[in-house]
Structure 1
Amino acid sequence: MTDLDRLRGLLVRNEVLVTVLDRARACDLPHWYLTAGCVVQTVWNALTGRDAGHGIEDYDLFYHNPADPSWAAEDRVIRMVADACRDLPVEVEVRNEARVHLWYEAKFGVPCPPFASTEAAIDAFPAVCSCVGVRIGRDGSWHLHAPYGLDDLFGLVVRPNPVLAPREVFERKAARWKARWPELTVLTSR
């Protein structure tokens, strides 16, 4: 069994996540992935016997469109996805990763170079275990991006990613996650 097969087997336990994946596919966004907490936390919930939606605050849908990095263009996509998901009991947070560098420093206190792709943005998440993105292709096949593999995710290990995120961002996330999933092992160094 491949990592993707195992991951898919765990993710399909979350019907909302699968529905968001299907609706994202229908929106046909450029270079999109469902990523971050909703993916990671669905896996943790499956591995620890919790309800599929336990602790999931939102569903992160990232795409990359450098052709128009304006807020107006991103807002149109946000509204389109919100309309497509209006009947779901969750928030789908949509971001054009081609424009993150425009606001990142104001929010997190450190500059962020422009991301060349959605994959590059996923690679920069604060924790290695959360550097995971999935999408469903037009043909129904599942695609995975996991630059560090899935060992930490499947092993319930949270370790800092040295690529970009400030230490405080990692520590806040790790503390919040540990409170919701006490089975996690939080490491302080890579």
Structure 2
Amino acid sequence: MSETLQNPHNAALLGRLPLLGLPDAWLVAGCLFQTVWNLHSGLAPTANIRDYDLFYFDASDLSEAAEQAEQDRVTALFADLPITVEAKNQARVHLWYERWFGYPYAPLTSARNGIERFLVPCTCVGLQPAADPGIEGPTLYAPYGLEELYAGLMRPNPACPHLPLFEAKAQSYRERWPWLTIQAGHVTA
């Protein structure tokens, strides 16, 4: 997924992410797969990207205040960029997900576990700056592979079988990238 770094915001986020010292921190989701779809569509790498998401996992403090404090640090670090950056502690998603989306959500065990549960498997991608300075390029986590991402195939994720949410999300993506294919159907967990 080296093309995701053609989006200068992704490159900046990955370059600065270690400065935050967030545990198990990843650049995830839309800013990555949407950059790929933009380039496939002949658009600018940053087109149609509404926000940039950072996941981290910190079970030591599950309070909303602690997450907001981290968000404030993130906002300050990236204030010079013309984008919205949202940081979410994956250790606390289960505390608000059902209230927000209407479906129960089992606790996560890591930020990677959060990436695995996106509604659409082809969007389950994350990048992390290389931990070893001798390694060139970021670490990729794509639990379901990249084939469907590059093919533009969207199907429900059995790890998060909330079909109405999937359908709304997939339709939103197809409105921005009309060449995408939606594979509807039943989901078995």
The TM-score range, normalised by the shorter chain, is: over 0.9
> Runs of 5+ in structure 1 lacking a partner?
1-6
> 8 Å contact 1:124–1:165 — kept in the other structure?
no
* Separation in 1, partners of 2:18, 2:127: 11
| Structure 1 segment 154-169 matched on structure 2, within 5 A | 154-169=150-165
Q: What is the aligned residue count? A: 183
Q: Alignment partner for residue 130 of structure 1, among 104, 123, 132?
A: 123
Q: Alignment partner for residue 116 of structure 1, among 105, 109, 114?
A: 109
Percent identity, aligned pairs only? 40
How much does 1:137 deviate?
2.5
Q: Alignment partner for residue 188 of structure 1, among 180, 184, 189?
A: 184
Look up the match of 2:68: 75
Look up the match of 2:140: 144
* Separation in 2, partners of 1:94, 1:180: 24
Look up the match of 1:3: none
Deviation digits for residues 38-92 of structure 1 (CA, Å, limit 9, x no counterpart): 1110111112211111110000100000011111211111000100000110000
* Separation in 1, partners of 2:161, 2:30: 15
For residue 24 of structure 1, what is the amino acid of its counterpart? Answer: L
> 8 Å contact 1:108–1:166 — kept in the other structure?
no
TM-score by length of 2: 0.93
> Runs of 5+ in structure 2 lacking a partner?
none
TM-score by length of 1: 0.92
* Separation in 1, partners of 2:117, 2:33: 15
1:106 aligns with 2:102: no
Partner-residue secondary structure (3-state), 1:161: coil
For residue 180 of structure 1, what is the amino acid of its counterpart? Answer: R
Look up the match of 1:59: 52
Look up the match of 2:81: 88
Look up the match of 2:27: 34
> 8 Å contact 1:65–1:98 — kept in the other structure?
yes
Look up the match of 2:39: 46
Partner-residue secondary structure (3-state), 2:54: strand
